[in-house]
């Protein structure tokens, strides 16, 4: 029997499902509420966040805070990626201003932009893909998001999130 090394996407998706995805569960609902409002120190004081950090092998407080803050706003793990869902809402041939701002965002502005974008997608998208993209937010991620937004195939070099 062989076991595969879990990917960041799988780790994040499983964490979301187990810790905050079941909003019928009082503990999951309470944790999600705390994470939505938490400062970095408050978020890092949650044992569930430390379990995620251990699974990811991460000690980057800022990236972990951004990751759990945004995932706490996600209500449903759906098949499509967030930029695909946002792109389906376009009304003309160009990106809307909010998407352009999202593509330029860094740091706390990125967290805010993602939190504001989620309701436009019904607070539902692929939790693992969103989490990995947030965690590995790079120019390659932004490029892939623009291709997803416009419904075009990304170049091969950008198809997968780094693990």
Domains, the chain: 8-152 (1.10.520.40)
pTM, to two decimals: 0.89
Quick one: what percent of the chain has pLDDT higher than 70?
A: 91
Q: What is the number of other CB atoms lying within 10 angstroms of the CB of residue 6?
A: 14
How far is residue 32's CA from residue 38's CA, in Å, rounded to a whole number?
10
Q: What is the pLDDT of residue 1?
A: 41
Question: pLDDT tens across 67-91, in order?
Answer: 999 999 999 999 899 999 999 988 7
Identify the residue whose tokens are 């004081």: 45
- Do residues 46 and 34 make contact, with C-beta atoms less than 8 angstroms apart? yes
Q: Is the pLDDT of residue 135 over 60?
A: yes
How far is residue 51's CA from residue 53's CA, in Å, rounded to a whole number?
5
Q: What is the pLDDT of residue 153?
A: 84
How far is residue 93's CA from residue 151's CA, in Å, rounded to a whole number?
12
């Amino acid at each position: 029997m062989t076991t595969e090394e879990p990917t960041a996407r799988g780790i994040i998706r499983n964490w979301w499902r187990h810790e905050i995805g079941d909003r019928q569960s009082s503990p999951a609902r309470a944790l999600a509420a705390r994470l939505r409002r938490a400062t970095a120190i408050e978020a890092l004081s949650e044992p569930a966040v430390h379990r995620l950090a251990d699974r990811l092998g991460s000690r980057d407080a800022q990236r972990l805070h951004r990751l759990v803050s945004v995932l706490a706003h996600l209500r449903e793990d759906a098949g499509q990626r967030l930029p695909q869902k946002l792109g389906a809402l376009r009304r003309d041939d160009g990106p809307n201003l909010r998407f352009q701002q999202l593509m330029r965002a860094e740091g706390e502005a990125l967290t805010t932009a993602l939190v504001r974008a989620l309701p436009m997608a019904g607070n539902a998208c692929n939790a693992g893909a969103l989490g990995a993209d947030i965690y590995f937010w790079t120019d390659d991620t932004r490029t892939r998001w623009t291709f997803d937004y416009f419904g075009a195939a990304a170049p091969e070099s950008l198809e997968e999130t780094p693990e």
